[in-house]
Amino acid sequence: MPEPIISTVDIVLLIIKDDRLCVTLSKRDKEPYVNQEALPGGYIHAQDDRDCLDAAVRILQQKTGLLPPYLEQLKTFAGAARDPRGWSISVVHFALVDADLILSATNPGLTIWPVDALRRLPFDHNEIIATAVERIRNKSQYSSLPCYLAGETFSLPRLQKIYEACLGETLNKVSFRRKMDELGVLETVAGQTESAGAHRPAQLYRLKSEFKNQLKLLVRGL
Amino acid sequence: MPEPIISTVDIVLLIIKDDRLCVTLSKRDKEPYVNQEALPGGYIHAQDDRDCLDAAVRILQQKTGLLPPYLEQLKTFAGAARDPRGWSISVVHFALVDADLILSATNPGLTIWPVDALRRLPFDHNEIIATAVERIRNKSQYSSLPCYLAGETFSLPRLQKIYEACLGETLNKVSFRRKMDELGVLETVAGQTESAGAHRPAQLYRLKSEFKNQLKLLVRGL
DNA sequence: TTTGTTAGTTGCAACTTGAAACTAACTGGG
DNA sequence: CCCAGTTAGTTTCAAGTTGCAACTAACAAA
């Protein structure tokens, strides 16, 4: 028989800070775990559509003021052990955003932590973040996903650092550039370069507009 | 403010029949769409744990009598348009099983349809099945996933047909065998061969026991 | 024993990859 | 003004991977 259930949405908001993959946490304003830092989340409303993507956008807007350039459903977590109040269900999403957008926005109570040096968090949020990181790692191997962590324009050396932070390993410069060329999601920003010191400046790139909201995959397969 | 919600689980049960990827539907015993064929589904109970995997196992058992060798959460579908009764949420799973298990089980009211020639189904079930097929296709490119469609023992030519049905394209025989070797999830069944006519019989293989419940990935990456 | 059919292997040319060594473009100090 | 230091970007090439064609292997049936 059906039992009515309180359903929530949580969001793993990921950014790159100091060349490391980081998660953004917000201070809880309600019990349980009030004032502790946890994944931003909230209740699902009956008007939320698009498989809870609407709810995720609304909650992210509320808690961070951001409209992320990339948002994807991650997995639904449910069970009796995850919340001290009893059985619960949460449709978890992950969002990618340029770190500068967070730092420049007015974000009281938001904090940023490297995903590989996280302390014990409330609920099953450590497990959720681990799942999100696994997904990012996986997709970073063969898609343009990490581009959404890079902001409007960026150099290839910077993008390579971002890929490396996502994958947790260093990449070959030549191979990386070949693959990016093959993916075909980038275009040069005419005449623009990134000068940052006493050395050759780097060419700036941006995502082609047709890929602004769509991942490009590059699968080698069997 | 929280609103209590009726939550369900639906299951996309996939098999290979006549070298084609097929979905198993069951006749609905309740309104709406009573007596129409749709994905097997049911309500989530408060004792269901493991992120609704328990619910999926229970419902699959009820509707098909099967305990599938592979079961994975696919995606959560939610919104106002998917059910005539109003806003609803469903945590959808997909299961892979050897076709023989379905045909041999006593399964009143179960029917099997090729995923690429499906008529209009109730709710958003066409969209759900399309999402499942996309996921299978994706994972078949670089993992041992299709092995779960093959039963206990199988020949490499048969497994190749299964991969081809999942991917929707033919594969090179030598490359396929090299990749399977590289994946390392198979072992020969000593002395056993599959004879099926006037020709050389094929060596039989099975999944190594350590991979019975775990996908092996083979990613070439950037 | 020959023929047809499917299983499984070998050889090879074309392509992909990764490391090292190269050239390019800038700043700042002598 | 030029040289050293630093990072950007390209070239070269050897090693590895892939996909096709042609091969050999094992069976049944005629």
Question: Is the same domain home to A172 and A197?
Answer: yes
Both tokens of A87, joined, read 């059985």
Distance CA A35, CA A67 (A): 24
Residue B187 within any structural domain of the chain: yes
Both tokens of A198, joined, read 């006493």
Which tops the pLDDT comparison, B50 or B163? B163
A-contacting residues in B 103-132 (Cβ below 8 Å): none
3-state secondary structure of A124: coil
Domain termination residue (choose one: B90, B115, B139): B139
User: Residues B12, B128: contact at Cβ < 8 Å?
Assistant: yes
Question: Is the same domain home to A157 and A187?
Answer: yes
Covered bases, chain C (protein CB within 7 Å): 4-11, 17-21, 24-28
Residue A202 within any structural domain of the chain: yes
- From the CA of B103 to the C1' of D28: give the distance in Å: 30
Asked if the Cβ of residue B30 lies within 7 A of any atom of strand C, the reply is no
3-state secondary structure of A89: strand
Domain termination residue (choose one: A96, A111, A139): A139
Residue B184 within any structural domain of the chain: yes
> How many structural domains does chain A have?
2
Highest mean pLDDT range out of A14-23, A191-200, B23-32?
A14-23
Domain termination residue (choose one: B139, B164, B179): B139
Question: Is the same domain home to A82 and A158?
Answer: no
pLDDT of residue A1 exceeding 80: no
pLDDT of residue A166 exceeding 60: yes
Residue (of A64, A169, A82) closest to A125 by Cα position: A82
Question: Is the same domain home to A106 and A57?
Answer: yes
Nucleotide nearest to A197 (CA to C1'): C27
Q: Output the domain CATH number for residue A179.
A: 1.10.10.10
Which tens digit of pLDDT belongs to each residue from A98-145?
A: 998 887 666 778 999 999 999 999 999 999 999 999 999 999 998 999
Out of A35-44, A86-95, A154-163, B94-103, least confident range? B94-103
> pLDDT at position B196, please?
76
Which tens digit of pLDDT belongs to each residue from B44-84?
A: 988 887 888 999 999 999 998 888 889 999 999 999 999 99
Domain that holds residue A63: 7-139
Measure the CA angle with vertex A173, ends A169 and A174; round to 5°. 135
pLDDT of residue B96 exceeding 80: yes
Q: What is the average pLDDT score of chain A?
A: 91
Both tokens of A106, joined, read 């007015």
Question: Is the same domain home to B34 and B52?
Answer: yes
Distance CA B202, CA B206 (A): 13
- From the CA of A19 to the C1' of C21: give the distance in Å: 28
Question: Is the same domain home to A106 and A177?
Answer: no
> pLDDT at position B221, please?
53
pLDDT bracket for residue B4 (50, 70, 90): low
Residue A221 within any structural domain of the chain: no
Q: Which helix (H) or strand (E) holds B135?
A: helix B125-140
Which tens digit of pLDDT belongs to each residue from A8-28?
A: 999 999 999 999 999 999 999
Question: Is the same domain home to A15 and A114?
Answer: yes
pLDDT of residue B190 exceeding 70: yes
Which tops the pLDDT comparison, A205 or B106? A205
B222 reaches A (C-beta below 8 A): yes
- Widest CA span in chain B: 70
> pLDDT at position A144, please?
95
> Which residues in chain A have Cβ-Cβ distances shorter than 8 Å to B87?
46-47
Both tokens of A78, joined, read 């449910």
Residue A46 within any structural domain of the chain: yes
